[in-house]
Copies of this chain bind each other. A is one copy, B any other.
Amino acid sequence: MDVTRELAKYLVSSSLKEVPEGVRHEARRAILNYVGCAIGGSRQEAVEIAARVLGPYSGPGTSSVLGRGERVDPLQASFLNGISSHILEYCDTTPKNYNHPSSPMASALCAYASTTVVAGPAFLHAFILGFEAQTRIANATYPAHYNAGWHTTGTAGVFGAAVGMGRLLKLDLQQMIWTIGLAATQSAGLREMFGSMAKAFHPGRSAQSGYLAALLAQGGFTSGVYGLEGPRGFAAVLSTAYDLDKVTRNLGVEFELPYNTYKPFPSGIVIHPTIDGCIQLQKEFQLTAAVIASVRLRVAPLVLDLCNKKRITSGLEGKFSVYHAAAIGLVRGKGGIAEFTDEAVNHPDIRRVRELVEAVGDPTIAEDAVAIEVVLTDGRRIAKRVEHAIGNLARPMTDTELEEKFRDQAGRVLPMSQVNEVIGMCWKIDKLEDVRRLISAACVA
């Protein structure tokens, strides 16, 4: 079975009117969330460094960077959009495979759409196709690929960016096959980078690499034609087990977008149940740092695999510490952007409570659940069990909550009138004649 060819065939022949409205609306939600994250993260240190270092290497500035003012070439804009949309750890997540699909893909599409006229429906369709392709590829190799240590947002993300761009560039079948091959052979990103700027580098570089793949394929740059399924192709080399049927089965009939979720807390998603439960406890018992004597968490084993650092000094590390997650929930009763800064991580109250937290892996606890026990200084024991963390598919963020999240992030960067204008355009993106209107509104004038 020619998986790469089958997928490419669908990508070049699909039409937007075959996509159900429910899927389109989920795509609008994902785009809204993406744009908010990209604006919200656009002034973070990692973005500032990358923009400063790479500015002198930019080609003609035909492209805008979301949330920012400079004009750079679209490959560089893809890269910067990718970093900024991921750096706050506020991305969307597909729980089937722990991928953050919008960041790498939409970062390329937005960079392109700021250089030329892209009609709203074409943009939405490319987004949907890029989402489906990368999610199916991630599903096909999950969990072996992820468990091996790959950061799927890098490794699968490059496919989303490549084929989304391929669709916008109107590639033919042969070119789309090469695009997939050129994406496969750039697929990279190690989970070892979690807690450093290099994590957000992954969707940045994947966005740029996917864009590059589509450009080169359009120009006739050839690749192997079995990029996904070949004996030395993506699946065989990057995963010890896989089911490539998941890439092609019911393409265009079943969609993955309805299984997308949005992070309510800017941190690694597996610590969300802990934040959620600790916030509930703080509110219920009006907790303060001073009254907490000890904290015991029972968490899914994956949580300790990913987020087991207690001695931390930076906000980026805090996003991957289940101990920090418990501390901010119990001490501050919230888990917003301010709770994952260097300041919060080094705050004496939070640091003290963090040190009081113990976490044990328990295979009977699901990955979106947690059991929390707190002993207070007066000897009382209080407890909370979360079965499905907020933001999960069982408790999805509403459209209104997504708008609030958008305003909370983007309002730190752009005037609120501009922020509201962007939100409005995201909801009706497929009515826009030129997506540049949205991108311009999402940047510093």
Contact = CB atoms under 8 A, between A and B. Distances in A.
Nearest to A226: B192
Copies in the complex: 2
Contact of A185 (B57, B198, B219): B198
A151 B185 CA distance: 9
A221 B201 contact: yes
A216 B50 contact: yes
A221 B193 CA distance: 12
Contact of A181 (B49, B182, B198, B215): B198
Given A57-B59, A59-B57, A233 B192 contact: yes
A224 B193 contact: yes
A197 B223 contact: yes
A94 interface: no
Contact of A192 (B49, B219, B224): B224
A194 interface: yes
Nearest to A74: B57
A143 to B, nearest CB: 14
Contacts of A226: 192
B185 A150 contact: no
B195 A185 contact: no
Interface string A201-235: 11001000100000110111111111100111110
A207 B348 CA distance: 45
19 contacts: A52-B219, A53-B216, A53-B219, A57-B73, A58-B59, A59-B73, A149-B231, A149-B232, A150-B237, A178-B198, A184-B190, A184-B192, A185-B188, A190-B232, A192-B226, A192-B237, A196-B222, A196-B224, A196-B225
A60 interface: yes
Q: Which of A73, A193, A220 has the most chain B CB atoms closer than 10 A to its own CB?
A: A193
Nearest to A54: B215
A269 interface: no
A-B complex: 7 closest residue pairs judged by Cβ atoms: A149-B232, A198-B223, A53-B219, A192-B232, A149-B237, A191-B232, A188-B188
Contacts of A57: 59, 73-75
Contacts of A202: 185
Nearest to A154: B185
B150 A215 contact: no
A186 interface: yes
Interface string A125-157: 000000000000000000000001111001000
A22 interface: no
B188 A187 contact: yes
Contacts of A191: 232, 237
A46 interface: yes
Contacts of A197: 221-223
A229 to B, nearest CB: 9
Interface in A216-265: 216, 218-227, 230-234, 236-237
A196 B181 contact: yes
B50 A221 contact: yes
Contacts of A220: 45, 49
A424 to B, nearest CB: 32
Contact of A190 (B74, B178, B237): B237
Given A58-B59, A184-B190, A190-B227, 18 more contacts: A46-B222, A49-B219, A50-B216, A53-B215, A53-B218, A56-B59, A57-B73, A59-B59, A148-B237, A181-B192, A186-B188, A187-B188, A192-B224, A196-B222, A196-B223, A197-B221, A201-B216, A222-B316
Contacts of A46: 221-222
A189 interface: yes
A338 to B, nearest CB: 21
Nearest to A191: B232
